[in-house]
Amino acid sequence: MSSSPLKPLIGVPANTNRNNVRHSPQHAVAGKYMQSVMEGADGVPMIIPAFGETLHFDTLLDAIDGLLLTGGLANVEPHHYGGPPFPDDEVTDPGRDATVLPLIRACVDRGIPVFGICRGIQEMNVALGGTLHYRVHLLPGRMDHRMRRDTEDPELRYAPRHEITLTKGGYFNTLVGEDTVMVNTLHGQGVDAPAPGMEIEALAEDGTIEGIRLAGAKSFAVGVQWHAEWKIHEHDLSRRLFEEFGEAARASAARRGKKG
């Protein structure tokens, strides 16, 4: 048996895939997120199925040391934040909504670190009382933040596309000592009104909110709109955020008496 210290267990909620109607829906997470937990946060990823309230949340919360919220094809349904109904053809994932939104609130209450990426920042904001823009590119003066459709090459789709400005003296700004950073962009929705207690850490050139942090949280509670899991060791801010998330997860495990 290995005598090496235990690593923090990071819960990663799944998306529900219903494309293959011949079989039961699949609960899946893209490999790049799982890899980012291991390489960026030095943790062990665990997929959380999107079963909503039928999961025993207390058992899950007693096990995990951190929560990583990923991107996904579906958007958070608007009834969770008082937004107008989606068009009939909009992709939704009610199982993920029903799983992740209460999990975020419970993690914040317990001091379990939370890191939200892309859809994840939107979930954090909604779970804690904020709202979303349905389609950022339809707002006056906003750029098109959606994924490129002219290529299927991930190197091009996830390449940096626009600059963000870090809030002077804020958490992100202090981490990297930079005022601006280039990021990728692959999203349609975006944060509208930040949840109570959320501080804006970064803005895109068009005013789109790109980073938030829950002020006064018991532990790390940060969301970013860009895909920080992509080539994290080539992006200083993404790398530092994953490192901070990992450190917070280890501290969470230690507080709860886990051996490591």
Residues labelled catalytic: 118, 227, 229
Residue 56's CB: how many other CB atoms inside 10 A? Answer: 10
15-17 and 26-28 strand pairing: antiparallel
Copy the structure tokens of residue 91. Answer: 């992709």
3-class secondary structure, 34: helix
Query: With contact defined as beta carbons under 8 Å apart, do 165 and 180 qualify?
Result: yes
3-class secondary structure, 136: helix
In the chain the first and final C-alpha atoms are separated, in Å, by: 14
Q: What region, left, alpha or beta, does residue 257 occupy, with left being phi > 0 and alpha being psi -120 to 50 degrees?
A: left
The total number of residues shown for the chain amounts to: 260
The whole-angstrom separation of Cα 95 and Cα 45 is 20
* Integer angstrom CA distances of residue 91 from 14, 134, 183: 15, 12, 25
Residue 185 CA, chain-centre distance (Å), reads: 14
3-class secondary structure, 180: strand
Copy the structure tokens of residue 146. Answer: 């959606």
Query: With contact defined as beta carbons under 8 Å apart, do 75 and 84 qualify?
Result: no
